[in-house]
Amino acid sequence: METWLSLAAGVGLAAACGFRVFIPLLVLSATAFSGHLVLAPGTWWLGTLPALIALGTATVLEVAAYFIPWMDHALDLLATPTALVAGVLATASVTGDLPPLVRWFVAIVAGGGSAGLVQGATTLLRLKSTALTGGLANPLVAVLELLGATLTALLALFLPLACLLTLVLVCAAAFRASHRVIFGRHG
């Protein structure tokens, strides 16, 4: 059962990386640094003080930058590939009970895929927000992404199965809503 929990935690952390790149890595780093989480081989450095400081600094800069109207779109260009890498790293760091080849395969496919899916959805949301409100609602989007990243990362580490279930339900609801918008169906 521990393998399933680590996979759920990895996918949840990766999805959180799609909201914000550095918040989930900061949560992961702080949890490991405090001794509450043992990281997988090769990722132990995430639990060090230098990593914690670097990720804290990067988190503050990332969160602040998303509140600057033109910079949020510029950051999305950088955040998309970076979120994929962060999602892979986050997944690999908590799935240490898997054989290395399987761990990295799962990290690339499930971790990178989850991060990319969420990052793509948030980028589209910001573009729609800009188109509909001239960017006035983008700070609200930034706050929602900040909350999404933080809550998803915490839920992934402390209640991984609940996190995975929540992500599946949110994805299903988003798919259903987008299907209605695209095909004009109601109900």
67-114 tens-digit pLDDT:
887 787 788 788 889 999 999 999 999 999 999 999 999 999 999 999
Q: What is the distance between the alpha carbons of residues 89 and 43, in angstroms, rounded to a whole number?
A: 8
The confidence score (pLDDT) of residue 8 equals 95
Greater confidence (130 vs 179) lies with 130
Please give the DSSP secondary-structure letter assigned to residue 158: H
- List C-alpha distances in Å: 172 to 30, 137, 138: 31, 25, 24
Of 14, 6, 2, nearest in space to 109 by CA: 14
When divided into structural domains, the chain yields a total of 1
Tokens of 126: 């910001």
- List C-alpha distances in Å: 131 to 41, 135, 136, 175: 45, 7, 10, 21
The confidence score (pLDDT) of residue 137 equals 86
Tokens of 12: 């949840």
- Report percent pLDDT > 90 for the chain: 66
Tokens of 64: 């602040």
Model confidence pLDDT, tens digit, residues 45-70? 999 999 999 999 999 999 998 888 77
Q: Rg of the chain's alpha carbons, rounded to an integer?
A: 16
Q: What is the distance between the alpha carbons of residues 106 and 96, in angstroms, rounded to a whole number?
A: 11
Provide the domain limits for residue 123: 2-183
pTM: 0.90
